[in-house]
Amino acid sequence: MRIFVTGGAGFIGSQFIRDIIHRFPSAEVINFDKLTYAGNLSNLASVESAPNYRFYRGDICDSEALFEAIPRECDAIVHFAAESHVDRSIHGAREFVLTNVLGTQTLLDAARARKVGRFLHISTDEVGGSMGPDQWLREDSPLDPRSPYAASKAAAEHLVRAAGATFGLDYAITRTSNNYGPFQFPEKLLPLAICNLLDGQTVPVYGDGLQVRDWIHVEDNCRALIEVLLSGRAGQTYHIGGGQPRTNREALGAVLEALNMPETMLTHISDRPGHDRRYAVDFTKTSSELHWAPEISFERGIQRTVRWYAENRDWVNAVRSGHYLNYYREHYGIAPRTEARVA
């Protein structure tokens, strides 16, 4: 099996590559990543010398680079590469449209030209917009994205479906809920909270903190992604959720408990504009068709994740100071194009 992964130096992509390399030693993995502020090759240190792993630095908007990097007889593209943080998309949506929309179309064109076997597109539950208290996002629910990030991901999904309908591309789309776990850049809520608290700093809570997210450990997500890649039906969308909804205050409560810290470490600040109140994916179809279920309970997953960040202070410090970018220079003799911004 020859798999071309985009965005494999990021949080979920690097977990996916580590899992594939360990579970399928005969699979060949090519990681194509632009190395933005979110791409960190030290996430892949455990596999970088594996004979079946190769890194290629490039931008998914660059069709020539893609054509050069995608091998002949490529069984699958797994497309993680994206600008992924809602707050950044509120501050500036341009990069989101370029990478998430134009980049996805450029990759679809390259997949077609290279006759790639399957296109696994990684999307998000955020394309469905904010759910009411009793509402669930189903695979056939209408899309109602409300942040520039979610809108760019919804556009990308439409382009993938269009390539399937128009050109017969074999694709599957996954929509996952909020991931957490090791190697997550400390700009998203949970790693930000853990890193702040480990440094003795407070955690900013937007608005009343009663927004609901369905947390899933990244290992559970990647297990599902592998199932969809190998056994998902062509042209289908699969939801992946943790089945463990928590308000932000509850989720942060679990982090505080793991660190034995008081609630006074939470500071309420003004709300995010257009803040989605609740995400809720119905993943019954994925469970019943692919015999998958999340296994890591939120409280156990949080304890493990807090321990990981506490034991990997070098990784955190390097990421927060931007020094991880030196890794590229040392190992690859290259400098990243996008400057790191401290979360």
Candidates 79, 33, 80, 85; CA nearest to 56 is 33
Query: Which residues neighbour 194 within 8 Å (Cβ) at sequence distance 6 or greater?
Result: 186, 255, 259, 305, 306, 309
Candidates 165, 158, 167, 53; CA nearest to 115 is 167
What tokens were used for 181? 């776990």
- Footprint of ligand NAD on residues 99-118 (CB under 6 A)? 99, 103
CB of 96 or CB of 328, closer to ligand TYD: 96
Measured CA to CA, the distance from residue 237 to residue 176 in angstroms comes to 11
Single out the segment in contact with ligand TYD by CB under 6 A; choices: 47-55, 94-102, 114-122, 186-194. 186-194
Q: Which does 110 bind (CB under 5 to 8 A by kind): ligand NAD, ligand TYD, none?
A: none
Binding test (CB under 6 A) with ligand TYD, winner from 123, 178, 221, 286: 178
For 84-152, the DSSP string reads: --HHHHHH--HHHIIIIIIIHHHHHHHHHHTT-SEEEEEEEGGGG-PPPTT--B-TTSPP---SHHHHH
Instruction: Kindly state whether residue 59 participates in binding ligand NAD, applying the rule CB under 6 A.
Output: yes
| Angle, CA 34 vertex, CA 342 and CA 182 arms, to 5° | 55
Instruction: Kindly state whether residue 6 participates in binding ligand NAD, applying the rule CB under 6 A.
Output: yes
Instruction: Kindly state whether residue 191 participates in binding ligand NAD, applying the rule CB under 6 A.
Output: no
Q: What minimum distance in Å lies between the beta carbon of 184 and ligand NAD?
A: 7
Q: For this structure, is 187 an active site residue?
A: no
Q: Which does 13 bind (CB under 5 to 8 A by kind): ligand TYD, ligand NAD, none?
A: ligand NAD
The binding track of 198-217 with respect to ligand TYD, each residue x by CB under 6 A or -, is: ------xxx----x-x----
Instruction: Kindly state whether residue 86 participates in binding ligand NAD, applying the rule CB under 6 A.
Output: no
Return the bridge partners of 173, or none. 121, 237
Measured CA to CA, the distance from residue 31 to residue 323 in angstroms comes to 22
CB of 59 or CB of 220, closer to ligand TYD: 220
Binding footprint of ligand NAD on the chain (CB under 6 A)? 6-7, 9-13, 33-36, 38-39, 59-61, 80-84, 99, 103, 122, 124, 153, 176, 178-179, 185
